[in-house]
Structure 1
């Protein structure tokens, strides 16, 4: 079955290293906690808020995961919504898995935890 795995994180500053490191940490946790293998990934969609301009967050996959060379990844800009969470990177990873919907571990780091308070217990 194909399922969606969600993740989000924030950075303090619009700096390339922060964007790459925060994205990599989020993706690594998503992959490890959900036992995701590169060959099972259908696609990875990564969005960033308009205030993040120093690098593509998808670069994190290429820098920290050599085995993900052929995984299709696309970056896009998040909607600029008034009152939205600033300096935020979001991920929608779709992959083949045997996990049931309620078994999927969605990953929210830093200020992005506020996006899904209903999943807060997963982070404790």
Structure 2
């Protein structure tokens, strides 16, 4: 879980040109089948020690996707909303195909 949350947070930062100092606060949610660790712990390991973080549980709706962690970050940026990159990794891209941008994936040789 920590590896995947770290991947998500760093991808959000890289995709939007953000540093830890740009974050005002972050809300993480996780589905009820994820109980190994708090998602915020991964952010703390990335240097988010002074950023308010909170974890919450996703609603348990019949047929919803299992094993999902979401992140809603409040940030300071000069980017207009239309240029914000929303990150959906792995199977979670199906959750919001309208916001997911297809990115080239480097092959194993790169």
Q: Where on the TM-score scale, by shorter chain, does this alignment land: which range?
A: 0.7 to 0.9
Give the number of the structure whose residues are more often strand, by fraction: 1
Shift of 1:36: 1.4
Unaligned runs of 5+ in 2: 105-110
List 4+ stretches of structure 1 deviating above 4 A.
none
Give the number of the structure whose residues are more often helix, by fraction: 1
- Matched with 1:123 is 103
Scaled by the length of structure 1, what TM-score is found?
0.79
CA root-mean-square deviation: 1.2
Q: How many pairs are equivalent?
A: 104
- Contact in 1 for aligned 2:12/2:86 (Cα 8 Å): yes
Q: Which has the higher contact order (CA 8 A, sep 6+)?
A: 1
Scaled by the length of structure 2, what TM-score is found?
0.88
Shift of 1:25: 0.3
- Matched with 2:18 is 36
- Matched with 1:57 is 39
- Matched with 2:69 is 89
The change in CA–CA distance for 1:121 and 1:37 in structure 2 (over 3 A counts) is closer
Shift of 1:112: 0.3
